[in-house]
Chain A
Amino acid sequence: MDYENILSRKVQDLQFSGIRKFFDIAASYDDVISLSVGEPDFKTPWAIRKEAIRVLEKGRTNYTANAGLADLRIAINDYINDRLHVSYDPLHEILVTVGGSEAIDLAIRALIDTGDEVLIPQPSFVCYGPIVTLANGTPVAIETSVENGFKLTAEALKAHITPKTKALVLPYPNNPTGAVMRKSDLEAIAEVIRGTDIIVISDEIYSELTYGDEEHCSIVEIDGMKERTVLINGFSKAFSMTGWRLGFAAGPAPIVTQMLKIHQYGIMCSPTMSQYAAVTALKDCKKDIEYMRGEYDMRRRLIVKGFNEMGLDCFEPEGAFYIFPSIRKTGLSSQEFCEQLIEKHRVAVVPGDAFGKCGEGYIRVSYAYSLQHIKTALERIRLFLEDLGVL
């Protein structure tokens, strides 16, 4: 059969993510030390696992309501209220999804008609552009740079707004740069958005992993922004629950209602056992989150110091669990750097250009690993730089 003629042109033209490509390369070597994962090394806290076991024992294995368990939506609202001091109607403004990724997909599909533009600050996670393309929209990259701490600035935002602009993705704390938007940064963005019909899709999956004295701030906390924002978060990173596939969206009822329609046809409901366990996560696991954040913070300082000492200048990340050092001084491209590093010294890191063109010249390094693992990897990278003659 001629599958090329059968399959959707749009889908065939879509590229596999650069992360995925690099996974294939890394998997072809033995004894690789990886600093490439985007998931916590901690196991899901025991209280959460225990609740899932209890629920299974009780035989609670049916569908839940499409939008998710009422108890969970109420707990999500309490959680948002506790962290952001903003309230939603749990029954009409909160939707439980299969990971944050599904929530992003739903929000974009609910908003976008053919030709609508979606603004996407880059470097950023790989899913936004392809989802917009699949919805027949046009992804528009807004490049951020180290000079601005990889933050989105009001000027850059203004320069990219057109009459077709429908939505702005706000991916902070950021994967891969570790950049965060503080309250004053968000106020400047809100100032630009408030006078328009642009909807903000705020992907705050790393919100619990914000370091320093200032707490995470969401754009929904800024005056006039809640009514024009779909807030997205989930359990994967904060609670170390990647495999449970659970996230949520909170936003204005008219938007969430349309998202629910797509979710109802495509998914039915999020995994039932995960939903019950998530109620426990939100109610009983604040201490676990704090412990994990403390551990990440120490590793963050260790690895930033390690890279800066090796002369790979590293912007100080304030969120997530990645650093994004520049590798320009090696004279190699991001792809070349990563391929040679894994080939010669068996360390896997992800090329920065996987996260947008402006990620060229950088690498994404994850510190969701034990101290010993990080130290060994740093030693290998040092040897690589010595081989290259830049150290």
Chain B
Amino acid sequence: MTKKEKLVDLLRQDARLSNEQLAAMLDTSADDVAAMIAELEKSGMIIGYTAIINEEEFDRNSVCAFIEVRVSPEIQCGYDDVAAVIAQYDEVSSVYLMSGGYDLAVTIKGTNLRDVAMFVTDRLAPLGGVLSTTTHFILHRYKEKDKMFLKNTDERSLVSP
């Protein structure tokens, strides 16, 4: 792994490591780390930093759904236009173009079931190019972005030889 790859890997694990801490781990200077990060940001390889929230704990009423969307591609721009329209809604947290039985995978977040249902029926389904939608509600989270929601996954004893 190159130093840049190691840096990205560390930021994936924990984006709140300071430049000094990253420098110590990568055996380089904090200035060097700052320069590498600036370069990654400038080139669009790092597009942002965010916290992974345990939504079930943070807001018990929030609802998330995963929606399979079948789309009829347009001649000039394929799926991009429809995807861009869907992506601009605040309720939408991710949009992916998929292989397989449907085209776009959309995750959306609402404050209750009705919110989510209304979003699908009022906004998503009527969009030009959208052929059908299938909505799956997320019931429970186990792991997201490499982090486990399960508590106490370390089965080692507190102190050992």
Contacts and interface: CB of A to CB of B under 8 A. Distances in A.
Interface of A: 17, 19-20, 22-23, 26-27, 32, 34, 36-39, 41, 125-127, 175, 294, 298-299, 301-302, 304-306, 348, 350, 370-372, 375
Given A298-B10, A371-B17, A22 B159 contact: yes
A121 B160 CA distance: 21
B160 A302 contact: no
A97 B13 CA distance: 37
Nearest to A175: B161
Q: Which 10 A-B pairs have the closest CB atoms?
A: A23-B159, A298-B25, A36-B159, A305-B24, A26-B158, A34-B158, A301-B24, A38-B161, A37-B160, A38-B160
A296 B1 CA distance: 15
Contacts of B14: 371-372, 375
Contact of A39 (B25, B27, B160): B160
Contacts of A127: 161
Interface in B13-27: 13-14, 17, 20-21, 24-27
B158 A305 contact: no
A23 B24 contact: no
B99 interface: no
Contacts of A306: 21
B2 interface: no
A37 B24 contact: no
Given A305-B24, A371-B10, A348 B17 contact: no
Nearest to A371: B14
B129 to A, nearest CB: 43
Given A371-B10, A372-B14, A299 B159 contact: no
Contact of A19 (B21, B24, B161): B161
Contacts of A41: 154, 156
B25 A19 contact: no
Contacts of A39: 156, 160
A299 B25 contact: yes
B157 interface: yes
A302 B19 CA distance: 11
A32 B159 CA distance: 11
Contacts of A26: 158-159
Contacts of B26: 298
A39 B157 CA distance: 10
A37 B160 CA distance: 5
B105 to A, nearest CB: 28
B21 A305 contact: yes
B23 to A, nearest CB: 9
B50 to A, nearest CB: 16
A26 B160 CA distance: 11
8 contacts: A17-B161, A19-B161, A32-B158, A37-B159, A41-B154, A299-B25, A348-B159, A370-B13
Nearest to A304: B24
Nearest to A125: B161
Contact of B27 (A23, A301, A350): A301
A302 B157 CA distance: 24
B38 to A, nearest CB: 21
A304 B10 CA distance: 17
B13 A37 contact: no
A98 B25 CA distance: 35
Contacts of A36: 158-160
Contacts of A125: 161
Contact of B160 (A23, A32, A301): A23
A76 B157 CA distance: 30
Contacts of A375: 14, 17, 21
Given A299-B25, A301-B25, A27 B158 contact: yes
Given A34-B158, A37-B157, A306-B21, 11 more contacts: A26-B159, A38-B161, A39-B160, A41-B156, A294-B1, A298-B10, A298-B26, A301-B27, A305-B20, A371-B17, A375-B21
A248 B158 CA distance: 27
Contacts of B24: 301-302, 304-305
Residue of A299, A348, A375 most packed against chain B (CB within 10 A): A375
A297 to B, nearest CB: 8
A23 B156 CA distance: 12
Nearest to A291: B1
Contact of B158 (A37, A294, A299): A37
Contact of A34 (B1, B10, B159, B161): B159
Interface string B50-70: 000000000000000000000
